[in-house]
Copies of this chain bind each other. A is one copy, B any other.
Amino acid sequence: MTEPSLKSGRVRLRRRHDRGAYDRASLYAVLDAMPLCHVGYVVDGQPYVTPTLQWREGDRIYWHGSAASRMLRATDGVQVCLTVSLLDGFVMARSGFHHSINYRSAMLLGKAEKVTDKDAKVRHMQRFVDGLFPGRWDMLRPATPKEMKATSILGMDIAEASVKVRAGPPGDDEEDYSLPIWAGVIPLALQTLPLAPDPRNLPGVAAPDHLTRFKIG
């Protein structure tokens, strides 16, 4: 059975079709590798792009923030664009024109909908926290109704999206390969550095596995 494509005229790549994909496996690989996303929305004709964290539950994507934030207030019930990008390297070619970057990016279009059910909000927040840090939610001081009220969660169906990926060495013009110019890639990776404990941690409280084993990407 062929899975329906996420392609539409709005997300179709206009060029470099070899770098594009419209299937859920390719899309979810990018979303699951990078919680940071950029949400685009329009207020009075002006586009805004706000960074926040996203998480996926099956075929829906969610993001959250303060109920007071411009982005959360402006995006409920409206069309948004959610983009996730990972910068994987600088591609150094033999001409300026063929310099590029290695990257993975995903662009999703859809109508954002606020989660209003109180219990559902708590479940989503647990999924978000435990998705990054398995088991953490139940170790924390429980959320209060006031805190949940101050938190907005938005979600949308993943139905219209494209993925674009570039990897590998530069693609130079054939005649340029004879030039004595160093070409190649400067690989980049977002890396986890050693944990920085809060100075106010109680004596003897150790970091749990979900932190000591945490890896991004």
Contacts and interface: CB of A to CB of B under 8 A. Distances in A.
Interface of A: 10, 14-15, 36, 38-42, 45-51, 53, 66, 68-70, 79-83, 85, 87, 89-90, 92-97, 99, 101, 103, 105, 107, 109, 125-126, 129, 132-133, 136-137, 139-144, 147, 150-151, 169-170, 172, 176-202, 205-208, 211, 214, 216
A169 to B, nearest CB: 4
A97 B151 contact: yes
Contacts of A181: 139-141, 205
B201 A196 contact: no
Number of copies: 2
Contacts of A89: 196
Given A51-B103, A96-B137, A195 B186 contact: yes
A82 B48 CA distance: 8
A97 B10 contact: no
Nearest to A173: B141
Given A38-B51, A188-B216, 4 more contacts: A39-B49, A40-B47, A184-B198, A188-B190
Contacts of A80: 47
A107 B49 contact: yes
A15 B66 contact: yes
A47 B79 contact: yes
> Of A99, A136, A139, which is in contact with the most chain B CB atoms at under 10 Å from its CB?
A99
Nearest to A136: B92
A147 B15 contact: no
Contacts of A216: 188
Contact of A38 (B41, B49, B132, B141): B49
